[in-house]
Amino acid sequence: MLGILLVGTLIPALTVLRLRGEGWEGLGFTRRFLVTSLIIAAVLGAGSAYQLIVTASELQVQLLPHLLANFLVFWEPLFVFGWLYLRWERAFGWLPAIFLTSVGFALQHVGSVPLPVALSFGMFALVFSIVFAFVRNLAILWPLFYPVASGIGTLQSGLAMGWDDVLSGALIFVVQLCILFFVARGIVKRTA
């Protein structure tokens, strides 16, 4: 949990909001293409929902807590797309950023899931990166599409999430929002 909050939230927020002064856009929070992003995310989420429902039913997993737990994994799209993708795009361009994000996402999961599953996650990240590259707005992924796709991925890797996961996810989510709020307000400042 500490790594998620430190590496997945605090370091990106401090770097983008305080050190570089880029504002929320530097983390993928922007009004630009917001409506378009939400419409596309709703279509992608709705289109993927059937597979989530069928997979959860086949595995006899309660759908609601599983979906909620995946909804609360906000740190992952923030870190992977709002942080890594946007940094890599600035450094190398949009095409290398798409592939680096895909590889990074796969590597992030090595050790926590079997290698073939981690590689399939990398392929999902490739699709997510392409979608994200068009708008550079996290709303195209979260909250309408990413939880459904993540729910499918976690089920396919054998990770069924229950109410305990919702509770721990909610705690991480709230702390993450507090970190973002305090960094944005300048209460947490970068220490040299």
Classify residue 18 by its DSSP letter.
I
Angle at 39 between CA 134 and CA 104, to 5 degrees: 45
First to last CA, the chain: 24
Q: Render pLDDT for 18-43 as a digit per residue (tens, 0 to 9).
A: 999 999 999 999 999 999 999 999 99
45-51: long-range contacts, CB 8 A cutoff, minimum separation 24: 45/144, 45/145, 45/147, 45/148, 45/149, 48/145, 48/148, 48/149, 48/152, 49/148, 51/152
| pTM (two decimals) | 0.90
Mean pLDDT, rounded, for 103-112: 93
DSSP lists the bridge partners of residue 116 as: none
In the predicted structure, residue 163 carries a pLDDT above the cut 50:
yes
Cα diameter, the chain:
52
Q: Render pLDDT for 112-121 as a digit per residue (tens, 0 to 9).
A: 888 998 999 9
8 Å CB contact between 1 and 172: yes
